[in-house]
Chains A and B, each alone.
Chain A
Amino acid sequence: MRRYPNLILGMLLVVVWAIAAWQGQRVQQLRDADLFYRWIVAACTQSSLLWELTEQVTNDPTKPKMMDRELFESITGAADKIRAEVPVQEGDLDKTGAVEPKLVRLVKHDKNSREVWNLASGSELASQREEFRQYWRQGRLASAGVQLDVSVMYASESTTVSLANMFLGFRKMAANLIWLEVDKYWHAGMLHRMVPLMNLTVTLDPNFVDAFLIGAWHLAYNATASLPDTPELDKNYYEQYGVYLGRKELYYYQGVDFLKDGIRKNPSDYRLYFDLGYGIYSEKLHDYANAVRYLEYAVRYLKHDKWVPRTLNIAYQRNSQYQEAIDGWKLYLQKFPANPNAQRFIMYNEALLAERDMTQAREKMDAAQTALQTAQQAGTDATTLAAAQANHDAAKREYEAKFDLTHKQWQTVLASQSGADPLALGHLRMLEAQTLADTSRYYEAIAVLSQARIECNEIFNEVSDRIMALKEKAKIPLNASEKMEMQRRAQAERIKSERETREKGQQPAQN
């Protein structure tokens, strides 16, 4: 050191700096592995939710081909070969009914996070990791987004400056300040200013889950609060959703998109699934099948609060999955025995299950009745007539037994409550109306149903439909609002039929 101090110090500086640069490469590799891991988790979650990985992309021939599906299949194929068998559980089937890949099943459970990370960062998936890096840099991954790197939003050819880096690492703070503006505009009633800022907030901070929740709430609830339902004639077709929507309905779908984007970026936060399943699909779109799908995912695979299984069980009930609802409530009661409502809901669903069986028996009896009348009118031989009669009698006995059982179930629900139970009362009145209608006492039946829909709001639409059906059968004139409803339905049917005809006409003839 004394002889050539400058040389030695210079060499030392170069060596240490080189080691630091090498360590920097390691850190960068870890970050790349981190991005790859996050993409795998997001893609597996989307696959499990039966989403198309490239659903954001339109068929634009000028844009490069998106490689999400190919990359995903390559990764899951490689992981299937490496990994030992993963137990198949309920819900581990894809949309074709086949068992999901091992990697998708692994990702669902948080306890496997380290194993998935080891796969993502290890040498077994090194080639797929490199492919991911290249496709991501080229902007050819539609299911990746700003949750991986905010600079992706500026990855188009026309942008040369990565503005995200201009925030000097304070983009989360910038997102917070923008969110304060959103809150200010909300209280001022300026929804049109809120929406772009909401999008900007979650772009800057993709892990700002509360912004996704409140933003979707604004879109689905507040933006539509003063809007009327759009008449069928005024709806426009939206290709990305495959349905006809008016302005009000479009907000619901935008809320869905917003929450789906949140799930893409934060696949392990149950609140996004809950809001999507319950808040929008169940309460606004009345799409109970999708409500069940998302709530089931939250309950099965994610840490969640205790109201989530409750809403799932209610979604089961609304989706006519009564047995699942009963099983769910029983499981809930085991965990929370002090819950005052679980037992009541179990009884509701048992009664609804009996009522469904009764309805099916009724249809069977009506079919047997029709067959008997047809046989009688056609003058068939005595043996066939006797068989038809026996069939009808058996169906009638079955229906009457199920009717009695249903009646008994609802009576049990009513007796178990300290006060009047509107739902039980409503259903009992519907059974009473059915008995009256069967003996052609239509006016009395309609009066009983009118009372039922006043007492129980939950079955208002169902009862109204029954009233209109009875009036039609008995040739009783409809009132003004019923006539308008029938006109609306007829118009909707006519427009739907015209659209289908037009679409068939536009489709090329197939040989």
Chain B
Amino acid sequence: MTDNVQMTPENLPVCSGGSAAMGSAGITKSLGAIWTIATYTLREGLRKKTLIGFLILSILVIFGANFLTAFLNQKTVGDAEVDIDVKLIKDICVTTISIFGVLIAIFTSASVVPNEVENRVIYTVLSKPLRRFQYLLGKFLGVQLIVLMNLLLMGALFFVVLYAKQQILPTLLLWSLLLVFFEFLIVSSFTFAVSCASTSSVLPTIAGLFIYIAGNMTEYLRDVANRAGQTTLTVDAWIGRISYWLSNIMPNLADFSLKNQILHLQPNDIPRDVQIPNLIAYSLMFAVSGFVLAYWIFRRREF
């Protein structure tokens, strides 16, 4: 192991780890390596045809929302103005961003490590004096950067469409996008963990879709737990207990439904400065859990 910065054929500077005295320069180099891997992952990800396809589809739907509502010419009811077309556009766009955004997050998280295993690039990279932790964190950050870039692009289009309709700046949209990103962070972190155990991206993709659906069904587990005990059957009580514990330890993506409400803000709505920071902390905790699981799995693999 050396302390020198080395260049791989892909211009991937790495720095040594494991030296006894990791001063601030060492930390900086380490962070530099992580960042380099992250940006490399971002560049690679933006070239993927699947993601470009999703992006184009989402753009078409977002712009198409305008035409979908064109025939709704119910502008006034009596003397009260109604804005159904604006509401429809907002809901269509948020739904589109949610659907395509989660697909982008799942496909990216599911493929970023298995593809490198398949292409044998990972052997070259890990043969360098680069810690697996640095590599994995860089990959994980790269995935999040890809998701963020796509969200910002779709959000910008949404912004333009809404501004063209209402001639006011929809600043609440930024909060909505923030919540969408943190919702996807949970899904992508666990999908990433599954991908670290897999040699192809098919299984992690399926797992990612399952994680997303399960995350939305956690509310259902709460309902089951609340309704348990209506019969005297032992199995009913056990189902209730299991549902209760599962609903407490599994991530609940329904908590992020605020992203829809926030676009139709009512004067009596509760203060956002309370809910949003708690949701962000919630997402970060699960993201860290997912990453720790990913590292645990990745660390044991032999390359």
> A residues near B, CB below 8 A?
5-6, 9-10, 12-13, 16-17, 19-21, 23-28, 30-31, 33-34, 37-38, 41, 107, 110, 113-114, 117, 121, 137, 151, 157, 160-162, 165, 168-170, 172-173, 176, 179-180, 183, 207-208, 210-211, 213-214, 217, 266-269, 271, 274-275, 278-279, 302-303, 305, 307, 311
Do B286 and A20 touch (CB < 8 A)?
A: yes
Interface size class of B (residues with CB under 8 A): 35 or more
Do B267 and A110 touch (CB < 8 A)?
A: yes
Interface residues of B in 179-212 (CB under 8 A from A): 212
Can you list 5 A-B pairs, Cβ within 8 angstroms, ordered by A? A20-B288, A26-B282, A169-B260, A183-B72, A217-B77
The answer to whether the Cβ of B1 comes within 8 Å of any Cβ in the partner chain is no
Contacts of B82 in A (CB 8 A): 210, 213-214, 271
> B residues near A, CB below 8 A?
71-72, 74, 77-84, 87-88, 91-92, 95, 98, 212-213, 216-217, 219-220, 223, 226-227, 230, 248-249, 251-257, 260-261, 264, 266-271, 274-275, 278-279, 281-282, 285-286, 288-289, 292-293, 295-296, 299
| Chain B residue with Cβ nearest A159 | B227
Contacts of A307 in B (CB 8 A): 79
Residue in B271, B282, B295 whose beta carbon sits within 8 Å of that of A23 in the complex: B282
| Chain A residue with Cβ nearest B83 | A210
Distance in angstroms between the alpha carbons of A338 and B179 in the assembled complex: 46
Residue in A25, A41, A157, A165 whose beta carbon sits within 8 Å of that of B220 in the complex: A165
Residue in B71, B81, B217, B282 whose beta carbon sits within 8 Å of that of A27 in the complex: B282
Contacts of A23 in B (CB 8 A): 278, 281-282, 285
Q: Is the interface of A mostly helix, strand, loop or mixed?
A: helix
Distance in angstroms between the alpha carbons of A113 and B271 in the assembled complex: 8
Do B74 and A183 touch (CB < 8 A)?
A: yes
Given contacts A172-B260, A210-B83, A267-B268, contact A30 B281 (CB under 8 A): no
| Chain A residue with Cβ nearest B68 | A180
Residue in B223, B253, B286 whose beta carbon sits within 8 Å of that of A162 in the complex: B223
Residue in B216, B227, B286 whose beta carbon sits within 8 Å of that of A165 in the complex: B216
Given contacts A162-B219, A267-B268, contact A170 B98 (CB under 8 A): yes
Contacts of B282 in A (CB 8 A): 20, 23-24, 26-27
Distance in angstroms between the alpha carbons of A311 and B281 in the assembled complex: 48
Do A207 and B264 touch (CB < 8 A)?
A: yes
Contacts of B278 in A (CB 8 A): 23, 26-27, 30
20 further A-B contacts with Cβ under 8 Å, apart from A17-B286, A20-B251, are A13-B293, A20-B286, A23-B285, A30-B275, A31-B255, A38-B268, A107-B268, A110-B267, A113-B269, A160-B227, A165-B254, A168-B213, A176-B92, A210-B83, A213-B80, A214-B77, A269-B266, A271-B80, A275-B77, A305-B81
Distance in angstroms between the alpha carbons of A74 and B140 in the assembled complex: 51
